Structure 1
Amino acid sequence: MSNTDRTHDLVLWGATGVAGRLVAEHLTEQYTPDDLSVALGGRDETRLRELEATLVDQRADWTEIPIVVGDATDRESLDAIAEATRVVCTTVGPYTKYGTPLVEACIAAGTDYCDLTGEINWVREMIDRYHEDAVDAGARIVHSCGFDSIPADLGTKLVQSYAIDEFGSPCDLVRIYLEDGRGGVSGGTASSALEMFRAAATDPVARKTLRNPYSLAPPGERDGVDPGAQSFPRNDPLRGEWTAPSPMAAVNERVIRRSNALLGYPWGREFECTEVVPVGSGPVGMAGASAVTAGLGVATAALTFGPTREALRRVAFPDPGEGPTREEIENGYFTIRVLGRGTAPDGPFVVESRISADRDPGYGATAKMLGEAAMCLVREEIDSPLEGGVLTPASAIGDPLADRLRQAGLVVDVGEWDGAA
């Protein structure tokens, strides 16, 4: 069956989970049945029917939404789902535990795929095992299409595209600033984070993946000049204020480096990127950066050590299926700013991009990011030479994703930096 002959444009896998439900709400609010043929997928038909009834009741345009039932561990059911759709959009994690059979099914069917994973140990495994198969099948396997890592990855791509168009040269240094934000954590997100730390503590390959800044680059290209994530408080070279390490740097920086490699190094092999948390200037800023760094270090140590990791799972983290309230999601927000520094024949320049939203970054905003990434795949709104493989948002989709995000209500800007924070 060709990709254009599929029953559905899109299957939302894990639709009844916290994140999946939000994606379903976004897609049925943003689009009509004439725009999109979407099916709700999962293992519990009763819960899927309840979600369908709720959505149909809320959306005047939607009179029914198809249901597909399967099991994340049953390859036969996943094959049937992948063969019936053009794109699978999945929120079912931990992906280390539940994600591999669905990736295999999508590659076998030549079906595009997108997810929310921040589990770089698993992404590394998918790259090593399946990238070439996905290339041969023409299947785009696009990981990390939420808060990890669209703002950082797409923001970097926008900065570089602008620099090349306006100055004829890419930025040799990019810094991502996690400027502001408020949001909650669901049981699914907590499970994914715990699984990554567990793998790093028990699996030498996963541990090596977390230590190597280039661990998501193609095999044979997993080294370079970039030293990796910032580990200590630092007075930022571009903004002149104190910064602390970002808790998301371990994922986002590696995704960005993979984007550069997959696209053929348009930003150069000497390209460096770092994600940080800006805190402020002067002695107060230095103290704040030190406090953030110390807190992140304590949290990392606790998650690395098995007994404390399990204690945190029981006491501090929500159970699977639990998440932030509707009010918390709607009152959340974030701003990610990306600054890129380069040198043109006329002298040095700095380009800025900004991606922000007035929703919880990990849920309300992530639902829009994942949903719109899926829509780019469905509609073939692609600015990339790559037609298949284990990809990143920037390398698989590129700049058209920015237009989709703007239409969905996010702020996405890019231009020459005026020096303002």
Structure 2
Amino acid sequence: MSSPRFHFVVYGATSFVGQILSRYLYGRHGVGGAVQWAIAGRSSAKLQELRSSLGEGAAELPILLAEASDEVALKALCDSTRVVVFTVGPYALYGSPLVKICAETGTDYCDLTGEVQWIRRMIEAHEPAARKSGARIVHCCGFDSIPSDLGVHYLQAEAQRRFGAPCTRVKLRIRKLRGGFSGGTVASLMNVMREIGEDPALRKVMADPYSIVPGGSNGKPRQPEVMFAQYDAEVGSWLAPFVMAGINTRVVQRSNALKGEAYGRDFQYDEAMMTGAGFKGRLTATGVALGLGGFVAAAAIPPSRWLLESYVVPKPGEGPTPEQQEKGSYDFRFYGRTAAGQTLKVKVTGDRDPGYGSTGKMLGEAAACLALDRPKSALAGGFWTPATALGDALIERLQLHAGLGFEVLA
């Protein structure tokens, strides 16, 4: 059997994030060098336009064509590469055939989905095939959930080094978050609300912090969750709900399970945004909580969801400008405590708009890490998380090339 031609292929390269990712990969690896990559999608004209926008040096960048629903074309694409990077959301609408083919052919896969209900369906449907073929499927390789998942991984490694024990209670407190939303992200959220409307039982899945953990919540502790404005004395700040907590906390819990409960069987984890101390901090936290709750309530009702999609939120293909992406940044603080009461604090930072400028770099390094740093002999087939599949190797790449910082504070 011949070796695949490419290290990785970006499928959906003309999507909003796909274009950001392609520009990053071109700047990082060029064309025709040691790392062989290609762009793919369904429109030859759009792919050629993207290639031309990269510059004259990209003229030889390979283009592959495949419809997202054409399993024959997807198999040919998978046969050509070690890793497929998929960037087209909503993933529940467009991603299932590709995950199926990757699992069956042994082709590694990564994406930036935050659709926990879809991840659960893919695990249930295709994990046996992935284990048999050797395909490593790694969801959530963007802002959700690399900073959270690798931040906890990094903290726990330091806890083991210092204390010889894990932190059984970890909380993420977001000190700074500057960035915007794209139409693709909003479309994914709206599709989740649409699915819940069609299947009310899905509410229970979305509310379960162990929804993608092998074995579910059996015997697991109740998880803390910031639902409204509340004060955290340890960090000296009021807190507001964090919109990405619903996926990040699930991924972190799955990492703990896949690591054999290395963080502890009674491990607890939650995420929230810091809004400051005093009355102003409380007012801000209350405003954020009410605004987020109002948006979710409106998105759950078909007429108001239509109004939001038509007149309020960005359309698919729209998002932050390059200048806005450049000015964005984030600062995550992780507070850990062992069962014996020992404490640890670490920081994870990013230098671009979190969901786009930074996500493009994170996704690019995750794909390269999976293709180049993690041979099949080092990681078996199956559905993994960023921490369990890529771990320290990805942290090193992110610090060297992607503008992320990981630092122990106390």
TM (normalized to structure 1)? 0.92
Moved more, 321-330 or 149-158: 321-330
Range with bigger deviation, 354-363 or 217-226: 217-226
Give distance in 1, aligned partners of 2:14 and 2:275: 38
Report how far residue 262 of structure 1 moved: 1.1
Cα deviation, residue 63, structure 1:
5.1
CA separation of 1:211 and 1:223: change in aligned 2, threshold 3 A:
farther
Counterpart CA distance in 2 for 1:184 and 1:131 is: 34
Aligned partners of 2:199 and 2:9: how far apart in 1? 33
Aligned partner of 1:311 among 286, 297, 307? 307
**5+ long unaligned stretches in structure 2:** none
The aligned runs of 1:394-409 (5 Å cut-off) are: 394-409=387-402
Which one of 86, 91, 96 corresponds to residue 95 of structure 1?
91
CA contact (8 A) 1:350 1:416 kept: no
Q: CA deviation at 1:83?
A: 1.2
1:122-152 C-alpha deviation (Å, 9 max, x unpaired): 0111111112221222111111111111111
Give the SS at the match of 1:54.
Answer: helix
- Residue 24 of structure 1 deviates from its aligned partner by 0.7
What aligned pairs does 1:253-268 form with structure 2 within 5 A after superposition? Answer: 253-268=249-264
Q: What is the alpha-carbon distance in structure 2 between the residues aligned to residue 118 and residue 31 of structure 1?
A: 27
* 1:384, distance to aligned residue in structure 2 (A): 11
Q: Which residue of 1 aligns with 2:53?
A: 54
Task: State the Cα distance separating 1:296 from its structure 2 match.
Answer: 1.6
Give 3-state SS (helix, strand or coil) of 1:89's partner. Answer: strand
Distance 1:66 1:270 in 2: 49
Amino acid across the alignment from 1:276 = A
1:214 Cα offset (Å): 0.8
Greater alpha carbon shift after TM alignment, 166-175 vs 407-416:
407-416
| Aligned residue in 2 for 1:163 | 159
**Equivalences for residues 20-419 of structure 1 within 5 A:** 20-32=18-30, 33-57=32-56, 59=57, 62=58, 64-221=60-217, 224-343=220-339, 348-381=341-374, 386-417=379-410
Secondary structure of the 1:300 match is helix
CA RMSD of aligned residues (A): 1.9
Gap change, CA 1:353 and 1:135, over 3 Å in 2: farther
Match of 1:8 among 6, 9, 21: 6
Asked whether the equivalents of residues 51 and 59 of structure 2 are also in contact (C-alpha less than 8 Å), the reply is no
- Displacement after TM superposition at 1:376 (Å): 0.5
CA contact (8 A) 1:181 1:335 kept: yes
Task: Report the alpha carbon displacement of residue 416 of structure 1 after superposing the two structures with TM.
Answer: 4.7
SS in 2 for 1:361: coil
Amino acid at match of 1:403: E
1:354 and 1:56 mapped to 2: Cα distance?
Answer: 37
The offset of 1:315, in angstroms, is 0.7
Contact 2:347-2:409 within 8 A present in 1 as well: no
Q: Deviations over 1:59-94 (max 9, x none)?
A: 5xx551111000001111111101110000010111
Note the C-alpha offset of 1:382. 7.6
